[in-house]
């Protein structure tokens, strides 16, 4: 099973969002409608801060998230600092990720993927051991994350593997193995998989394909079996 086959397996249509609140929210409806995600609005006599979004996919009900949290996630997700730093905003992102787990989305952009990846990196930091495998498409993209991963390696016993096209060769970090790859498929994919340190409940993964123009299709998951598949795919290109 390749990662692309995994993407195709999870590819579904019919993602439907219904916003319940006192008035339509242009930030959410226009952003998602422009990416061909169906968004409805239903008036609810409540405060704007209490508005919420019901999410459904082809399988039916997927979950509910506060509208404020979804707006933040879609517009400008926060960038975490040093691994292990937490805030109330981080908790809202975690709720959205858990609600949309295994839901394929064809309208992902880099800020949402970065927020997701950083939440999963933070989970690996909290566990403190196990194997974390991450493909940045190209190693030059890893440059911006170099200091963050240095902290991640220094503060934990994680076995970290970084993959990407060899257009930059980072300084050595104890605990981090860098793999320069020439696999065309891996270069088009943004992948992250954490094995949970041996605990299935802590496993998490991100799979996203670069469609160009800073657009991605993909999904994130806490399904242990799916995470294992992504781990195996990356391990196979260790080289």
User: What is the C-alpha separation between 137 and 204, in angstroms, rounded?
Assistant: 19
Judged against a pLDDT cut of 50, whether residue 165 lies above it is answered with yes
Over residues 49-58, the mean pLDDT reads 86
Banded model confidence at residue 5, pLDDT cuts 50, 70, 90: confident
Closest C-alpha to 134, from 230, 7, 10: 230
**The residue count for the chain:** 239
DSSP structure string for 117-158: HHHHHHHHHHH--SEEEEEEEEHHHHGGGHHHHHHHHHTS--
User: Which residue carries 């508005």 as its tokens?
Assistant: 51
**What architecture is the 3-235 domain classified under in CATH?**
2-Layer Sandwich (3.30)
User: What average pLDDT is seen over the chain?
Assistant: 84
Residues 165 and 180 sit within 8 Å (Cβ to Cβ): yes
Cα(191)–Cα(234) distance, integer angstroms? 9
pLDDT over 90 for what percent of the chain? 39
How many Cβ atoms are within 10 Å of 33's Cβ, its own excluded? 14
Domain boundaries, the chain: 3-235
Which pLDDT value is given to residue 194?
Answer: 98
* pLDDT at residue number 112: 83
């Amino acid at each position: 099973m390749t990662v692309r086959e995994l993407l195709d397996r999870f590819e579904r249509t019919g993602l439907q969002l219904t916003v319940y609140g006192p008035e339509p929210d242009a930030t959410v409806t226009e952003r998602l409608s422009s990416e061909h995600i169906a968004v409805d609005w239903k008036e609810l006599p409540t405060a704007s801060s209490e508005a919420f979004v019901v999410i459904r996919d082809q399988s039916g009900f997927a979950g509910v998230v506060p509208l404020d949290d979804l707006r933040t996630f879609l517009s400008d997700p926060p960038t975490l600092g040093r691994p292990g730093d937490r805030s109330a905003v981080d908790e809202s992102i975690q709720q959205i990720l858990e609600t949309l787990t295994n839901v394929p989305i064809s309208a992902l952009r880099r800020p949402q993927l970065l927020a997701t990846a950083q939440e999963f990196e933070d989970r690996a930091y909290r566990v403190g051991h196990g194997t974390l495998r991450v493909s940045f498409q190209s190693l030059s993209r890893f440059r911006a994350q170099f200091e963050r991963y240095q902290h991640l390696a220094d503060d934990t016993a994680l076995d970290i593997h970084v993959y990407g096209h060899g257009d930059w060769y980072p300084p050595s970090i104890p605990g981090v193995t860098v793999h320069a790859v020439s696999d065309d498929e891996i270069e088009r994919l943004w992948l992250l998989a954490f094995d949970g340190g041996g605990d299935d409940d802590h496993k998490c993964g991100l799979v996203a394909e670069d469609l160009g123009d800073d657009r991605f299709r993909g999904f994130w998951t806490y399904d242990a079996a799916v995470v294992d598949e992504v781990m195996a795919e990356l391990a196979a290109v260790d080289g």
